[in-house]
Amino acid sequence: MKWIQLNGPALHYAVEMNNEDAVRFLLEHGVNLSLCDLYGSNVCDIAKTLKHDNLLEILEKFTNTE
């Protein structure tokens, strides 16, 4: 079993878990993209760090359409 520390908003958790469905769901329902976690990282920072390029592409497209 993998334990993680939940230290931020739901979108951050979905990105950390590389859960594309959850990320899309949250984005479609108006999640706040400007929130940072306890370490000052936003969701794009997390996706880059974890090399979740699939999510980074989704996040960048969504950011550009707002």
For residue range 34-66, what is the model confidence (pLDDT) as tens digits? 888 888 889 999 999 999 999 999 999 988 765
Q: Which residues contact 1 (CB under 8 A, 6 or more apart)?
A: none
Please give the model's pTM, rounded to 2 decimal places.
0.81
Task: Please calculate the CA angle 21-50-35 and round it to the nearest 5 degrees.
Answer: 70
Express each pLDDT in 8-36 by its tens digit. 688 999 999 999 999 999 999 999 888 88
Question: What's the Cα-to-Cα distance from 35 to each of 1, 2, 3, 11, rounded to whole Å?
Answer: 28, 25, 23, 9
